[in-house]
Structure 1
C-alpha cells in the first residue's frame, strides 16, 4: 500500500456530494483565471498597434504576470489560511477580472504593466494557490486526482474562451473585448467562489496502526531538508518542460515542419492544439494513477515518459506527423507536475497548512519560468543546434525520475513514520 493511502477516515467526515460540489466550484474558479496567461498571444497584435511599442517591451507585461503569480505565492497562501478560502479566492477572481477591465482603458505601457501584469498576476496567483489548497483537503484519499482536475481547469479553461475572444477582437476591437470578458471572468469566478467551504478536519480512526500525522506549519516545513528535495525536483521538471515547450515554434521553424500540412492543417498549430489537450489531460490522469500506485512510482513513470518522448522527438524531428504526436506525448509527461507535487507535499507535511505550504513549493514553478525559456535560447545561440537544449532537458527529467524512486520514496516513508 502506498504511503498516502494508509490513513482511513471516519464515515461522517467526508460527504461525497459536497466534496464533488467543491471540486466543481474549484474548476470554475480556475477556468475563470486561465485566459490572462493562455490567451495573451491573441492580445499582443492589437496592443502593439495601440501602444506603438516593440514586442520585447510589450512582453514584459506577460513576464510580470508570471512573476507576480508565482513569487508572491507564499504570502498569498498564508493569507488564505488565515482569512479563509472563500474570502481570498473571491478577491482573487475580482482582481483577475478587474485587470482586464483596467487593461481595456490602459493607453500607456506602464498602466498596462500595472493592470494586466501586476494586478492580474496577484489575482491569478491567489486563486491558483487557494483552489489547490482547497481540493487536497477535501479529497484526502484522492489528492492527486483532485489537484490534477483543478490544475487541468486552469490549463484547459482557456479552450472555451479562445475562439470567442478571437472573434470579439475581430468584430468589436480590443477595448470592448477586454472589458466584456473582464466582467465575465469576475462574475463567473466570483459566483463560484461564494460556494466554497472549508474542508472537514481529517482524523485517524481508532483502528489505524499508524500514528496521527503531524501538521507542519510553513516555518517548520522550511526547516526540513525533505521539502527542499521536493522543491529542487519540481524546479528541475519545470525548467526542463519549459526549455522545450517555450521554444516549440522556433524548433518547428528551424527543422522545417512548422508549415507542413497534416490532415489539411499546418503542423505547428495542430501540434499546439494537441499539446493543450494532453497538458490538461495528464494532470488528473497521473494524479489518479498516483492515488493508486504511489506518488514516487508515478513520478518515475511520467518523468521517464517525457525523457523518452523528447529523445524520439529530436530523433524523428523531420517527420511532421511524428513531430505532432510526440509533442503531445512530451506535454503528457510534463503537465502532471501540477498534480503530483502538491499532493505529495500535503501527504508529507499534513493538510492543516496545505495552502500556505504549497505557496512555498509553487515558487519552484517561478524558478522554472525564469530559467526555462532563456536557458534554452542561450544554449541554442551558443551551439546553433537543438541537441544541447534537448540533452539538458532530458538529463533533468532522468535525474528527477531517479531521485523520486531512489531518494524521495524511502526518505518520505521514514519521515512520515517518524511524524
Structure 2
C-alpha cells in the first residue's frame, strides 16, 4: 500500500462496535469488491468495499470477513479470508498479503485462504440463528452491476434457506456516520492533500490554459503524496461549463474574464475530501462575479454556523433556501413579490441553486447515513452552496468539509482560501 497503514486498533474497535449491535447467535459476512472490467482483458484500478475496509483494513480483492461473536470456539469469532499467494501471482502482480501481514493490519488472529471459505463457513453457520448480509443501501445508489455480496446472498439463501436473514447495512450506516479519532486523522490528511493540490492547480491558471491541464496538476500532486488520486472524477469547469453541475469532460480552453469552478477531492487510505473553489481565469474577479461570489460566501458561512448537533438536513435545507432567496433578491435575480406568491413546491430559487447544501463524507465522497438523522458530534459533512446564472455564464460554488463538534462546526479545509481577496492573493503569488 502506498499510504501509511491505519492502526489496527481502528478496525478492532469498529468490529467490537458492530458485534455489540448484532442479535444473539448471529453470523455476519462481508465481501471485497470485484475487479471491474474495462475492455478486452483490461480491468480498472481496484476500489475496496468500504464496509469491509472499515472492519478489517484490508485493501485487496478476493477478501471475505466473517464475524461470529458468540461462536463456541473463540478462534472462529473473527475470521479473515484472503487470496492465497503463489509464485505465479507474485511474478505477474507483485507481493500479496501474507497471513501474518493481514493479521497485523486487521487485528484478526484467524486468517485463512479464500478458497477455504466454504469448508470453514458451513459448520459455523449451522451454529447460528441469524445471518447478517451486506448490500449497498445508499439512498442514491443504482446497483446495476452484481457485486460479490449480492452473489453471496443468492448462494447463502439457496444453501441455508431456513435461517433468519438480517440487513447489515443499516447498522453499518449508523456506525460509519460518526467518525472516530483515527478516522478523522485520515480525513484531515485527505483535506491537507486537497489544499496542496489546489495550490498547485491555481499556479498554472491563466488565459489560454486548458481545463485538462489543470486536472493533470491535481493528479500529479495527489499521486506523488501517497494518494491513489482524486476521490472522484474532478470537475474543472470554465466559462459556461461552470453552470453544468456534473461537468467531467474537462476539455475546454479557459478564456480571460471567465471563471473556473474546480470541484475535486483527495483520497487517502480510502477516506475522502471534497472541495470546491471558483477562481477568475485572469486572477481578478469582475464586479459582477465578485458580487455573486460574495453572496455565495455569505450563504456558506451562515449555513456552516447552522451545522450543529440537533439540527437536521431537511431543516438546514429550508434555512439555506431562505438565505439563497435573500441573496438572489440582492443580485437582482428574484423579486420579493414573486417569492411571496411562489408555489410551495418548486421554490423560485431552485433556478439558480438546484443541488443539495450538504452530504456526509468519509469512506465515500457521498458517504452513508440517513438524511433524517439529527446532526451529532463526530459527523463530517460538506457545506456547498452555489449560485448558477446560466444566461451570464457565471457559476460559483464554495465547498468545505466540516466536522461537527459539541462546541461548534470545525472547517477541515480552512487552509484553502475562501474569500475573494485571499483567492486573488493566492493566485498572484502562486503563478509559475
Q: Which has the higher contact order (CA 8 A, sep 6+)?
A: 1
TM-score when normalising by structure 1: 0.26
TM-score when normalising by structure 2: 0.26
- Higher Cα Rg: structure 1 or 2? 2
> Quick check: which one's strand share is greater?
2
